[in-house]
Structure 1
Amino acid sequence: MLNLPANPKQHLIIFTRYPEPGKTKTRLIPALGNLGAANLQREMTEYTIFQVQELQKAIAISVEVRFAGGDLQLMQDWLGLDLVYQSQGEGDLGSRMAQSLFDAFQSGAEKVIIIGTDCPGVNSQILATAFEKLHTFDLVLGPAIDGGYYLIGLRQAIPELFVNIEWGTAQVFQKTVDIAQKLYLSHVNLSPLADVDRPEDLPIWEQALVGEVKG
């Protein structure tokens, strides 16, 4: 069982990777180089954490970072001692997400949301809306324009949503919706947003930074 911070009823899990050059954002290496791609991973994670901290000013949530690569010491040196860190563990993305949800619900959470750090459109307002929707719906999904999803929120662990899915393909979102319907889960979609995965996606990140400066 995890030791979640105070008020774990609403719990947010951030999936990210330690920004080691050559091992992160690999599809962007041709455009940015090993170091540039790792720096983008670093910046996008920090941006996501900033949005989450803004959310924490508005609503009571607990937060944990599930990381791949690196180790606890490296993560703490990077993002500080105020966050709860947990390794993503083994298995495909689905089994790692399912495990993180199981752990959170076991630890007393009642509404749990998972996000990645690839989608700069995920801001504190969207996260607040997602938690709000979980009052009414079993499942909240944030569809990504590439066919995946940038956010999933649940009120209980439902491992079936994470099996027999080809992660990283354009069918992930639709397959998840199909499974939800077979399980008779009530579900709602948030606004579609774009991930930053490929060189042609880089203007999305640049636009987000411009928006931050203006904001």
Structure 2
Amino acid sequence: MAWPMPDGAVLGIFGKRPEPGRVKTRLAAEFGDGFAAEAHEAMLLDTLDSWASDRFLAPGGRRVFVYAPADAGPWFDPIVPPSLAMQPQADGDLGARLRAFFAGEFEEGATRVVVIGSDSPTLDPSIVVSAFLCLEGKDVVLGPATDGGYYLIGCRPPVPAIFEGVDWGTPQVLSQTLDRLRGTGRSLAVLPPWYDVDAPDDWRLLGSHVRAMRASGLDPSLPRVEALLPRVLPGAAAR
């Protein structure tokens, strides 16, 4: 049953235009720039379709796709589901862009904001719902990623001072974020670990995970991802 987002709740989905050589560079090291861009696009669009629908979240609150680069709006306009608002990411590193998004939503009256990316297309929707519920009693919520970063971050106002002094894209991201949070007086909730898809072994895990879901009778609802899996993972055809 879909969870009704309350007024003041915002789900932000961060994503980039899939340009060969500019996305999923670690995946490209084994599979090539072209395939890496296709994989990035498949994960992004499947993620957007999932969260734009009412399967997981009932109407209410606000859902927004936060895209990069800033001039990519015309590319995304015809393919992003209309139930998602769209806005460009701010300038700067990931920390600056996240901080700007949270600050902007809070200025518009948001009371709880959760951000995910497109790198975890199998993410259990109950985890995202749990993040919003955690923010009823906690100031910050984090979803640790198995690569040392985080796949989800959420908070309630004001914006916590956790986005500076972080070495983005490294295994130290989560640890440094916790260091930044310490001493701020802001309370923390932690979600179960999940995996991002950045490297070839992550793509193999994704393929096995999707295949296992199919074998167990679950529909992953990732049609674009499933269509790509057999191209580089022999035997990954799930249907």
TM-score (norm 2): 0.81
Matches within 5 A, 1:32-51: 32-51=31-50
Output one character per residue of 1:108-164: Cα deviation in whole Å (capped at 9) or x when no partner.
Answer: 110001111112342321111110111011110000111101101101132511001
Could you tell me which residue of structure 1 aligns to residue 23 of structure 2? Answer: 24
Give distance in 2, aligned partners of 1:156 and 1:208: 36
Q: Which residue type is aligned with residue 184 of structure 1?
A: G
Aligned partners of 1:98 and 1:157 also within 8 Å:
no
> Aligned equivalents of 1:163 and 1:76: distance in 2?
32
**Mean alpha-carbon deviation: is it higher for 136-145 or for 42-51?**
42-51
| 1:9-158 alignment runs, 5 A limit | 9-52=8-51, 53=53, 54-57=55-58, 60-69=60-69, 71-158=72-159
Identity within the alignment, %: 33
Unmatched 5+ stretches in structure 2: 219-239
Instruction: For residue 55 of structure 1, report the CA deviation from its aligned partner.
Output: 2.2
Q: Is the 8 A contact 1:51 1:123 kept in 2?
A: no
Q: What is the Cα-based RMSD across aligned positions, in Å? A: 1.9
Give the match for residue 3 of structure 1: none
Q: How many Å apart are 1:208 and its aligned residue?
A: 3.8
Q: Structure 1's 147 and 177: CA in aligned 2 closer, same or farther, altered over 3 A?
A: same
Aligned residue pairs total 209
**Shift of residue 81 of structure 1?**
3.1
Query: In the aligned structure 1, how far is the partner of 2:64 from the partner of 2:195?
Result: 23
TM-superposed deviation, 1:7: 6.4
Partner Cα distance (2:186, 2:122) in 1: 26
Contact map agreement 2:117 2:151 (CA 8 A) in 1: yes
Work out whether residues 147 and 170 of structure 1, in 8 Å CA contact, stay in contact via their aligned partners in 2.
yes
Q: Which moved more, 1:93-102 or 1:60-69?
A: 60-69
Q: Secondary structure of 2:123's partner?
A: coil
Larger Rg: 2
Aligned to 1:203: 204
TM-score between the two structures when normalised by the length of structure 1 = 0.89
Structure 1 residues without counterparts, runs of 5 or longer = 1-5
Distance in 2 (CA, whole Å) between partners of 1:103 and 1:126 is: 24
- Residues 85 and 135 from structure 1, CA distance in 2 versus in 1: closer, same or farther, beyond 3 angstroms? same
Shift of 1:166: 0.7
Task: String of CA shifts for 1:161-202, please: whole Å, max 9, x gaps.
Answer: 100111011111111112222102110110011111111111
1:38 deviation in Å?
A: 0.9
Residue 60 to residue 207, structure 1, CA distance change in 2 (3 Å): farther
Distance in 2 of aligned mates of 1:212 and 1:24:
27
